[in-house]
Each structure stands twice: as C-alpha cells, then as structure tokens.
Structure 1
Amino acid sequence: MKKNYYIITGTIVRVACGKGYGLNLEPNATAKCVRGRWKPEKPKCEIQPCHVPATEYGIYTMPTESGHLMTASQVLGTPGIGHGDEKELNETDPIPNGQVIHFSCEYGYNVQGPTNLRCWLGEWAVTSMPECVAAPCELPLLHGATYEAGYRAGLTVAHASSVNIACEAGRSPPATLNCHLGRLQPTVHDFCRPLANLSRPRPTSEYQSGSDIVREDISELEPDVDGKTVTDCGPPARVQGTLIYRDGAEVNGTVIMEGYPHGTEITFRCIASIMGEKTTWKLICEHGDWVGKSFNCEELEAQSEELLNNNSCTFRNEEPHVVSFFNDLEITETVDFPAGAVIVSRCSDIGKYAMTGSQARKCIGGSWDGAKPTCFGLNQENDYAKKPPTILFRHSQGPIAQTNDGKLLVYPGTVLHMECLWMRRFGNPKWNVTHYIPDPERKYPEGWTTDPGRDSQLEYRLSIMGAVKEDSGIYRCETPARQSHQVEIIVEDVHCPPLPIRRGLVANGLGTQLGTEIRFSCANGNALLGAHTLVCRASGNWSAPLPVCESVECGEVVQDTPLGEGERRPRVAVVSRGVGGRAAFSCPAGWALRGPSETVCLPAADWARPFPVCTEVSCPALSPPASGYVLGRAPYRAGDVLQFHCNPEHTLHGRPILVCQDSGRWSDKPPTCAQACTYPGTTISGRMSSVKFYYKIGETVTFTCEPGYKLKGAPMLRCLKNRKWSNAIPLCAPITNFTSSDSLAMLNGDIDAMLSDAAIFPTDVLKTRETPAILTPESYKAAMTRVAATRLLRRAPIELYKHRISKVNNLLRRGNER
C-alpha cells in the first residue's frame, strides 16, 4: 500500500506480506477501518525469525553475548567461539533476523558446507545447508612397515574402508588398518614392532580427526627407534578461493608434492570478498602432521551476499519495445523494488520483435540478476532483409492476448491465423509445430494467403481453426534463408472473477471472458474514484481494482509552489468545487502569469497541479540605433518608456518613443537612424515643396516663385549620399518684360501655388469626366493640374492675364520714356 494513501471508513482489507515478512494478524485474517482506526489492530508485516534446522550429528551454537548480533566475520575472528563462549541451540529454536550461528559436528564427523549461518528475512542466507559426514582417515608414515595395494603415507581413506600392512624383516605382527569415524584401528604401536620392543606398552592417547593437536604426546604416534626420528608432512589440503604462503612467501599454484619438513608454516588467506573482508589461518608441520584449524572461504562469500541481500533495486525501462511487469502490473515509470522482487519482461509485440536477455530478473544484493532484456525488430521492420521473419496474428470468433512472460494465450474456439512474412519469389517458408501433448495426426492448413486485402506475395499463413487445448505448443516459422522465429501458444479458458455490484456504480457489461473490457460510470452524480475501464488480462486478473462512486469536493487551493526571485503567488477564484470544477488564476497589473491559467478538481478531491506563479513583467533591453542613442535604464517594467534620438546630420525612421506593455513586449519596433541633409534654406519670393529640419538620403524638394518672378536655377534639389544637396538654392528674379508666354507662366505659377497649398482634393479629380478609371502617377498629376487650371480660368479668363500683362508693359514703357 502506498504511503499516505487514505482508506475510506468501512473498508475491509486483506494484507499479504512479502517474502521474509509475516503478518501480525491471524492467517487469512482481515482488518477493517472503523472511525479512523483499524480493527482488531493495524496490520503490520514483521520480519520473520529463522528456526534452527535439524541436522543429523550436527551441533548449532550461538555466541552468549546478550543483545548483540554477531556477523560471520566477527564469529570467525572472535577467540573462543566454538568453545566456552557459545551456548548450544535446540532444534526449532527461533533465531532473530541478522543473527549468526555456528555449526559443528559430533566426534568422528566433519562439516560439509558452511560453518556459519546468518538468519535473513526468515531464511538462512547460505547457498546450501551444512551436513555432517563421517570423517575419513589419513594414512600415517610407517617405520619398518609398508602399505599394500599401492597405498602410501599421506593418502586419505574413507570411513569404513581398510588397508593391509606388511612388516619388514625383524618386525611383527602384520595388520589390517580399519578407518572408523576418522580413526585408524589398530594404532601404529600395535603392529610391525621390533622384536626387541614387543614388550613395550602402547600409548593410550586418542585423537579425533580434525581436532586441534598440541605438541605434547605427538611422539607417541610414531615408533620410537632411536628417540630422535623427525618426519616430514605431506602437502596440505587445498581450500578453494585461497592464496597459500609458505613461511611468508607465496606458493599459490606451485605447491610441491614432496614432504614439508618439521616446523614448516603454511598460511591460507581467503581472496578478498565483495565487502573487502579477509580471513587467514595457519597450519604448522609438527612431526609429520599439520597442526591447526582450517576454515572455509565460502563462509565469507555467503556473508557478503547476506549483507547485500537487504538492498533495494531501482528499475527503469529505457529499452524500446520492452514491456515489464511486477505482480501482474505493468511498470511504466522508475520504481524502487525490495530485495527478492521479481520482474518479468517481454516484447511489446511478440510477433514483430524478438527478445534477448533474461525474461525474469530478481533483485539480489541491490542489483538485478541475469541479463538486461532487449527487443530487436524482425524482417518487417528492416525491409525484409536477412532477419528472422515477422509473424502477424489475426483472429476471429474468440479473443487472444499476450501473457506477461511472452506467450500467446488463445481462448478455446478461436480461429487464429498466423502469417509468416517472407518474399514469395525467394521460396516458401516452413511451419514447424511442437505440441505440448505430441499428436502426429494433428495437422494445420498452411499456404500463401488469398484473403481480400492481404498480400499473397508476402504472407505465408498457418491457421488454427477452432482452437482446443491440444493445439498448445510452439509454432516456429523458418525461411529458406534458415532464419526463424517462434511463438509459444497456450489454449486456455481464462475468465476473470465476477465483479461485485456496488451502489451507484454502473457497468456497461458483466462479462468475465479473456479480453473483456468493462467501462464504468456513476449513476448518482458522484465522482468515479479509480479506473474508468477494466480489462480481463491473460493472467485471469482485472487490469485494476473495482472503482467506487463517492461525493467529492475539493477544498481551498493551497498554493505551495516554491517561489523564485521576482515571483509571487497569483490570485485564485474558485468557480466550482465539485469534480471537474475549476479555479481561475490571475495576476495584478505589471505581473504576468507563468503556467496554467486555471486548475481542475480531480476525483481524488485535489486540485490538478502544477499551479502557476506571477512573474514581474519586464521588457528586454534594446540597443541604441546606429548613429543614435536611447534615454532610459534597464530593467524596464510595464509602463516604462524608451526615447530614441539620432546624432546630428541623421534622421529617425520609426517611432521615437516605445512603451513596455503588460505582455512584456515593446509597443513597436525600435527605430533606426539614417544619414540626412539639413534644411537647405529658402528663396525670396519663392516657395519650397517641403520644409523640415532633416531630409532623407534621396529625398527631393522643389522650388517655385511668386507671380511676377521667374525661377533662376535648378527647380528641384536632391539629398545626396554625402549629405549634401545636388544644387544650390535657385533664385526668384522679377520679370522685366511680360509676353503671352509670361501670362502662361503666371498662370502656371498660380496653379503650382494652388497645388502646393493642397487646395485640390482627390475627390475633385474623380468628379471630372476626362479622368480615366485607372490613374498612373503621371496621369494623376495631369488631372490635378487640369482641375486647378479650370478653377483659375473660371475666376479670371486668360484675357485677364493678358490684360494684366499689357498694363505692366505700358507701365514699364512709360518708365523707360521718362
């Protein structure tokens, strides 16, 4: 059950504990939620203890240190363990989790397997349980006698076996040595004794095989001929997983087979385990025998695994087309699993992909065992190249489904077509079928498909008509290129448990057959808590627990989103608190909403996340235009103003003032500065077409004169790229002798004045009959001139202009006569 997952009052739960844990309730008992408390008590999963196993001839002991659990390495390195500092355990005694116990055998038996066992999650963390086996006997070095049948000193004979001994001349009697529980009978003092010493009493000391031997009394184990005989030791028994040192020098892998002289010291050192622990022990050769106690490196290896066993494993599926399951639930996100958890994987489509790696993996020691599974596409995904063939499934009259472990489950009575994809021009593929129950008489129709809409040059079909249990088996398609792909089919009548009826819950069906899909809704206007759709899976389980209908309302919107610099929480207005209800967010002026503008009340009585935040509006800093500058400093908040200016002899193109808006954008594009010509000046009795401080490069101005004056110079000036005008300003000189052409010039001057004063509008042009439907710039200017001339002539006919000219001429003539 997930942490902080709340249970509705009245709910009855049945709890199952994981491996190594036991329930504190009676077996198969349930717990009920009553007014916020569990009855009879809150279910808990507690770590299970271990029980001392029953081992014939075995002795289990545990350190007497109360309240302190000892690890295997501590047991191996603690002096006195196995003697007076341990208490003997009885069979089935409970051992707490993590405690290490020691195993030994009764007299005459040797330990086979680990000597230290650690309890972990109700089980003994060892690869195999220890046993007690009858101790063998080692043949001693003889003096005055020889072994028969090829036996020699140093060899080991099994329990209950015998060896014949022959005496040299002058010694008697011969004997047969019998091995019984690690002890040879009779002793070396009872046979082949010198005839002169036959009356010497034999020693009475006895020694158990594998027990600790001290220096004193060793002389009694060998015949005393001259009182000074010292014998060598044979090669020591090898222990797997160790390095061997002789008198401090490594001899691992080069252990000599001849004898080791008296006093030789052999050191065994276990190779460092996973946890870095090491164990060493020594054996010393004393008068032909190795003295000391040997250990087993497997104890440390097992302990290393035990210490890691409790680590959890993280699973993240990063492989495409691989689907993994845990307890029949698909894993769709990164999850931590406890030790011992097993996940099962398959390809998303077992007909189109093939899997390599381990199908089932177990969490052991903080990592997953086995090989990571991967799925690779077959020939359909590779343009039918040299890859195993793709198998397509088509079915009718019954459902099919893929199992979690990559098999195809077929409901009885289903018609299943399996189409092996292979290019027909390269030959015919072949179907091979291996049934679980061999039946050579069971045959299936196969051949190139002829169904409408299918590709008869690509799909080689095998059909199971009305599947029955006997059709279960492995179906393998092999191409002429010897590439193959197989599918394991199980024909089984799978049904999910009937769904109980709950008040207010409406289902669109009651079927339980494999593949059945049931959709739920609430009849009482309440919210549906849980999955809206359940599907009967191949495992015989529904895809999710049965949902319930509850009256749900969301509370206040608790905004707990962490705030950064320049952020604040937005205002919230709840529109409706029912499931599906909404709450809107807004920010004050100068602040912008970052995130969703509203949230929705979910069926779990919580508002949908994430919540937005308000960030202070700011506009990006703008660089000054080339040959210009900006008035204003960053940061620029909503409402701030930027003013653009140009350097002398430059003109501004665009808006000189920009405003930072609430959207975080400027009100317009930044302007630019371009080179310009300054005001050229004016002429007396003349007019300019445009008067301003700066003129753009390429811009023109035209000059005209008042009536009675004549223009001398260029009538039009152009602003050049060097910021200078193309000509000097023209002059307006008085006219001294008027002619008819002068009257026309005077009329033209009045026309230009009327046009420059904007006395003529476009609508005046359109009213004239002579105006064409489509005006070019030249025809438009001509039409404007025509309208102006017409108006002037209506006011004063051309004769008036001629009369005015004649008056001027008369006045000028009289002046000349005087």
Structure 2
Amino acid sequence: MECFFVLFLLGCGFPLIPFIQGWTYHFSQDTMSYDNAQGYCRQKYTDMVAIQNQEENRYLNENLPFSPSYYWIGIRKNRETGRWTWVGTNKALTDEAENWAKNEPNNKNGNENEDCVEMYVKRAIDTGKWNDEPCSKRKRALCFKASCHSSSCNNHGECKETINDYNCNCSDGFFGKDCEHVMTCPEIVEIDQGSVECSHVYGNFTYQSNCHFTCSDGHLLVGPEKLQCNENGDWGFPIPQCKVIQCQRPELPDNGAMNCSDDGEILAENSTCNFYCKAGFTLVGSSSVLCTTPGEWSEKSPNCEAVQCKNPGIPKYGAMACSSQGEMQSYNATCDFICTEGFSLAGESSIQCMTPGQWSAIPPKCEAIQCERPEQPENGTMKCFSDEKMLPFNSTCQFTCDEGFTIVGSYSTQCLTTGQWIESPPKCKATLCRRPEIPLNGAVSCTHSGETLPEKSTCNFMCAEGYKLIGPSSVACAGADQWTGGIPICEYMQCDSLTAPVNGLIRCKNGFSYNSTCEFSCVEGYEMIGSSELQCLSSRQWTSSVPFCKAIQCPYMPSLKNGRMVCQDGTKYESQCSFSCLKGFRLNGSPVLTCQSSGAWTSSVPTCEALQCPSLTAPEDGYMVCQNATKYKSQCSFTCLKGFKLIGSPTLSCQSSGEWTSSIPTCEAVQCNVIVAPSMGKMNCSRLDFGYGTVCKFTCEYDLSLNGTDTLECYSDGSWNTETPTCDTMKTPYDAATYLTVGITSGASVLSTASLILWLIKRMRKTAKKFTPTNSYQDLEAPGIYQNTENVDDV
C-alpha cells in the first residue's frame, strides 16, 4: 500500500480536498532496497524525489509520517566521478543544495559502501537531514509524480515542476500562467506613397507577424523593407517611409568644375549635372550624369586627368630634348629637335603638348642637306663630286680658269649645312679683281670704288646685328680676281633653347633666335622668383637665367587664446584654418580663413571674447549678492527684507548663451490670513490689510471672559503668533442677573432680548459639554480566519 500528498494534506486513496493539477509526493508502506525503490517510483509514478531547495526539504519533513527505517531519496554516488548525483536528471549535487546530517556523508570515515541516500523524517536529532547508507538496506521509497505534461504551457513554453504546482517558462513572444497569451504589436495599415502587405502566424499583428513595404514610382523606401513583430511587442525598427527619390550632389572632380540643373546638396529625380575640366586636364568618364531611380546617379562622376602627349620620338638622323622624361609628356611640356650634320630639320624645331593631348605641330623630320649644282664660270671649268644636279652635304666643286684669265673667287666650294655652298662659284676675269659680293645680312667697304679693283685693294666685311661673321673680316686683291683669305659670310645667331620651369609655363616669340623674347608665368598657387621675360642678346646669351616657381605660403597663424584652431595643409595656398571658442567665449571674426594666391589670409585672425550677461538690479524691498559680476558661470543670489517673500528663483546663473537662467525675482509683502472679531467681542487692528507687523487687540462684550490672548501679531512668515481668542464664559450667573437688574433699573446699559437669549443658549451649550461622555461606543469586528484543522491518520 502506498500513500501520497500535495500541498493540502491528503490521505491514502482519495484526497480530502479537490486540488488542481500539481506536483504530488508518494511513498510506499513497504520497505525495500534502493534499486527496488527506484524501480517502484519509475513504474508507478515519475521517479524518486529530487529535492530542489530547503523549502521542499522542510515541507517533506513536516508532512511525511515517521518511519523507523526512514525514506530513500533520489541521490546516489556516481562511481565513475565520485560525485553525488540526482538519479532523475543525472546532474551532480551542488554545494548549495546539500543537506547532510552532522559528520555525513560516510560518517567522515570514507566508507565506500554507502552509495545511496536516505532522509531522516521526524528524527529526534538531525530531523529532515540526509544520510548515506548501503544501497541494499530496506527503507520506504519516496516518489513524486510530475504535474507537467505534453499540453502544459500550450506548447509555448517549458514546464517547471514546483511543490503542488508547476510554472511555465514561456517562449519568446508568449506570456500568462500557461503561456496562453501572445504579444501584439501596433497595427500597420498603410504608409504614405507606398503599400504594405502583412502575414500572420499567431493572429493579426502578433508575435512573428511579418510586414513587407513597397513604395510607389518616384519614391524610395527609407528604412527596412521587412519588419517582424518581436517578443517585446514592437517591430524592432521604426516604420519605414516613402520619400521622394533624391540624389546626393556629386563630388566636384579635382581640377574640374560642375554645373547642375538644381542648387543644393540634395537633387530631385531627373536632375542632371555636367562636368568640365580645367586647362591641362581632360575628362575621363561621362560628361553628364542623371539622377535616376532609386536615388542614384546614372553613372559615376568623371575624373579630370592631367593632359599627356605621347613621346613624339627621335627623328632619324636627329636628336630630341624634352622638358620631362618618360613615354608620356605632361601638359605644356616642350620637345626641341636638331639634326645631325648633313641633315636639315623639316618642320618645327620645338613643339608643345597641348589640350587634348596633342602636340602643337607634327614632329619634324631630318632630311638630307643638298646643294644645287653651281654654275660653271665663264671662261673656266668646274669639276664636282658627281654629275648630279643636286649634290649632297660636304660635296666639293673645283674651279679653274682658261688660260689668260684669273679666277676671281674661290678655287673650290663646299656644300654647307644650310644647303648653300660655302663659296659662290668664282669668275674668270682679267688680273683685276672684281668687287667682292656683299654677304647676305652683311655689308662690305673697299678702299677703291668701281666694279673692278686694282691689285692690293682691300675690302672690309661686317654683319648685321644678330649675325656672326664666318671668315676673314678683311681681304686683299692678289691679282687675277684673287682675294686673299676668301670672302666671308654672315651666319644667323641663336641662343640656347629654354624650357618651362616646374609648375610654370613658357611662351616664346621667334623661337630662340637673336632678339627673340620668352615670357614665363606660374600656375595658380605659385609665385615667380626671377625675371618673367628673357631676351636673346647678340652675344648669344639670354638676359638672365630661367626663373623658378615657388609655392605660395601664408604667414603662420598664432594660437587662439581661449579657443581652438585647426588648420589643414599648414600654410599652403588654398589651405584653411577653422576657429572655435571655449565654452563661455564668443568668436569675434571669421570662423574660417583661407590662404589666398596673394600669400595673405582672407581676413585677420579672430578673437575669443568672454561672454557677458546683462547687468542685474536688486529687487525692490530686497538684496542681491553676485559673484564674478556678469561673467559666464557667475551667480547672483536674492533675498527679501523681513516681512517680504521672494517670488521667483533665489539664484540666477549666467549661461553660455549670454543670458541669465531666469528673470529677476520680486519681493512681495507678507500677509497673514484675514481674521474676524470673536462672537460677542470686538477687534481693533493696526492695519487693514493684515500685513507683516499688524497687531490686533481683542475685547469681549457684556463682561464675557476672553478665552485666549488679547493680542495677535502677524509674523514675517505670514502666520499669526497664536489663534484668535473667543468670548466664552460669564463671570457668574449671579453677576449676570446683577447686570440685568442694574441695566433695567438705572437705564445705563440695556440688554436686548435677543442678546440675552443668545447668552443663555451659549451657556446651556457649555454646560452640556461638561456632561458629554469622553468615549463613545464602537462596534467591534473580529475578523475570523477559518482553517481546516482536521487531522488524518495517514499522510
């Protein structure tokens, strides 16, 4: 036979009181070994008792009947780990849950045979405690039957057993004793310029409901596309909105410009932006972009890349010198060309890299120099390198005169780099010398006039400015048209070629020839050091050396007192410095300065001025005490004269905005509550408004006694010094009759009938009060607490 019980005391068989679903305890009447006890509990109930806390342990000790053999409980030593373990959950016993009797387990002697645990129930000592025993001993089995089942907690939580009951640990999104309720989220019906579609799992707009959002054409969804109702009863994120499609203004390309159809940083759909590049840069990418759905530009913003020209290449039979190295030449770079001896330049001797990456002229070529075959002199013969009409560079021709003629000129001539013969073909004439020809770009002066000059005549040669004499400056007639030394020529003078300085430009007129000029300039942000214009002199030297371009620097900024300064790129051209003041100070001047191309900042350095609040005045009938006057964080305190109360804040502080925390308070006169004369009495007050200091005097009529002080004074806190007195008691009834008789007899003071009646009523009331019981009867209610105290034989 076995018995069971719950929180309400139950007996064997049926419970005495109906109970709800709960955890119940059961025990056997028969004793048995531990293994049999465990099998018994698992076969008939759930398992052996697993005591979870001290409260449960105490409950079992109080409600189980005493048994000399005591009770097996669900704890057993694990032989592999050596730890005491709950047999139902296979979890180790924690230190907090231990409830061993003194010197247990194993009587502290390490007895390895005592592996099972009993509970002392209603034992004289160590009652309710545990003891380890050999598992073969026979004791009552202490079992429990679980209250949780498959449908507990509505399949929305974990069922936890408790004494006489169970608890549900609800899953996310559910609540209630049996997890019967589900969390709900705010209903979502529609969104402006869009639509929403929702699906539900546990009911409309409840836990795990999903809503998808879409926007109408021309609008962009700002926020999550999908929201789910979470376990807290909210959507987790704000409801998204449909906003008009807009694009962020594109970034301005370096070394470029941009022109958009709309102003502002945010541009509407179908807005366009066009891009341009500065001189020396070419656009890489689309020159125009369009704001499209979904708020993005149709293409990426282009870049402005520096213009470069492909290296023109060294001409055959020539040489080339460029202002920069590499296969690509930068914008404004120049290349100069020369040909080897025997070849002449066909094209420009200097070309420049221009926009859009093309040279200012087609690169030149070096063509072989040829001289046209000279004419044979009359009365003479000529023998040349070949019989061709055009003779190559360095070809020579030899001249001789017929007998009886004297050669006038050179006996030979040579083809020069200019494509001309070094000497003109001679002439064969008599022994007189013919006047020498005037050299091109030169002049000649002879000692005799005429076309023929006698022997020993001399002629002097000179060249025009910019030309150099090649040959003797003076010749003499040796007879038979023979001039000593040969006739000179005037060769064109030229200075060395120039190149543009780094970060600068060069522009030359007439190349690098005599008297030509070259002008120099620097790009923006650089200043020129040296002469901006050079000229080629007759000495074949330039008037000065090539200038250079130095980066513009603005003066260094001093530190900002009571403020902060942040500069980008130091003091370079177009660098910026921003200024801000510490709290309590105001910036006086521009907050941002920019380094200009002039080397000066856009304005002077700003200053930080201390903030000042307006001056304050003491309130009428009051005082004011200030610290630090009107500076930032200064404070002013206000008090009123005695008899006045402060209306407003007692302390004002000067804020960083330059304003006080509130307006100046005022002092209002203190007034006491209005009082009136007592019944059958008189009152005389010093002031009618009952203000501070008012004094009121009280007296009673008909010789009534004054109950209380005869003088009241209004204090500075608006209260009277005491309560208003009353006129309560006549001296004696005899005195009253005497007054009445005297009044009637003498006629000096007549009491009216109404006054007498009032006095008599008042006296009766006062007399009645003496007989009123001090305590009254009250109904006493004793709430009853009814409990079932019926005893049961078996628990």
Structure number with bigger Rg = 2
- TM-score (ref. length: structure 1): 0.23
Tell me: higher relative CO, structure 1 or 2? Use CA pairs within 8 A at least 6 residues apart.
Answer: 2
Question: Which TM-score applies when normalising by structure 2?
Answer: 0.24
More helix by share: 1
